[in-house]
Structure 1
C-alpha cells in the first residue's frame, strides 16, 4: 500500500513539473498557439472584451514612450466591408494610426507594436484576429470618411472576431519556418 501511494505521489510530482514547463507560461503559450484567422462566426465581440484589447494596445511599448498612435474602432458592417470585403457581423476593426510626421521617432514601428499587443490580448481572450497592412492606403485616401484623426495616418488594421469553430484553422495554417532557418547566432 505504501509503495502504491509513493508511486502515485511521484507520478503526480513528475506530471506537475512537466505541466508547469509547458503550460505554466500563459503568455508564451498564447504566442505559440496564435495564428491569423480567416474565418469568423457572427457572434459579436463584447464591449468588455474590446475595452481590454484596446487597453493592451495603449500599454504597448513605443520609442521614447511617445505613444504616437490613435485607435479608430469600427463596428459598422457597411463601413467595415469597404475596408475588408469578407468581414462578418460581429467583427470589429481597429484602425491603428500613427503620427504623420514625428522626426526622430518610429510611429509605424510603434503602431506595429500596439497591433501585436492587441493581437496577443485577442488570443488570450479566446477570440481571433488578423493584422492587415494593405487597407491602410485606401483608408488614408479618404481619412475623413473613416474618421482618422487629423495629423495621423492609418498604418495597420486589426480585425477582431469570434473564430468559426467549424474550421480547423490550426492544421490548415501555413507552417512557420523552423528556428534553424531564421535564427543566426553570432559566434
Structure 2
C-alpha cells in the first residue's frame, strides 16, 4: 500500500505518553509539515505556539476542566470533574494552533495544518491527539496573553505530542456509505 495512505489509515489519537521529550529534529519536521498545508488565497494564516513547559500545560488542563465542569453539557461536566483526567494526557509537548483574523479561511486552513501535524507525527511514530476542549482556556484573554500571539491571531485548538505510551492499532469501524458519484 502507498506509504502516505498507510500512515493516514494507521494514525490514532494517543492518550498515553512517555515522559521523555520528543527530539527537536522530529518537532521541526512536524512543524514544517504544518506550514506546507494548503490555504485559501495562499494566506498561510496559521501560527504555532510550542509549549514544553509542564507547569503551563498543567495549568491549561486545570483551567479548562474547571470551566468544563460549569458547562450545560452533561458529558463535558463529567470530564471536567474527573480528577484522573489530564486534558493533554500528560504529553510532554503541546502545540497551540492559532489563525489570523480577517483572512479568507483561517479556521479551515489551520485545520489542514493540524491534519498535516497529525499525519507527520504518525509517520515518525510519535503519538498525537487533537484537543478541542482547550477552547475553554482560550475564552479568558489573560490566558491567551500567555502565548504572545502576533496581533490579530486567535487560538483555535491544541495538539498534544509525545512518544507513545500505548497504542491502539485497531481503527474504529468507518461508515463507508458517505460517497455519491455524479458523472
Same fold (TM over 0.5): yes
Aligned length: 157
For the aligned residue pairs, the C-alpha RMSD in angstroms reads 1.9
CA–CA distance in structure 1, aligned partners of residues 167 and 25 of structure 2: 27
SS state at 1:110 partner? helix
CA–CA distance in structure 1, aligned partners of residues 174 and 155 of structure 2: 29
SS state at 2:96 partner? strand
Residue 97 of structure 1 aligns with which residue? 98
CA offsets per residue over residues 118-139 of structure 1, 9 Å max, x none? 1110000011101112213412
The structure whose residues are more often helix, as a share, is: 1
Query: Structure 1 residues 54, 62: closer, same or farther in 2, change over 3 A?
Result: same
Residue 52 of structure 2 aligns with which residue? 75
Q: CA deviation at 1:143?
A: 1.5
- Summarize the alignment of residues 133-148 of structure 1 with structure 2, pairs less than 5 Å apart: 133-141=132-140, 142-148=143-149
Residue 43 of structure 2 aligns with which residue? 66
Higher relative contact order (CA 8 A, sep 6+): 2
SS state at 2:156 partner? strand
Residue 184 of structure 1 aligns with which residue? 180
TM-score, normalising length: structure 1: 0.76
Name the larger-Rg structure.
1
In the alignment, structure 1 segments of 5+ residues that lack a partner are: 1-21
CA offsets per residue over residues 75-126 of structure 1, 9 Å max, x none? 0001111223354666211111001233xx1100000000101111000001
CA–CA distance in structure 2, aligned partners of residues 162 and 168 of structure 1: 10
- Give the conservation status (yes or no) of the 8 Å contact 1:83–1:139: no
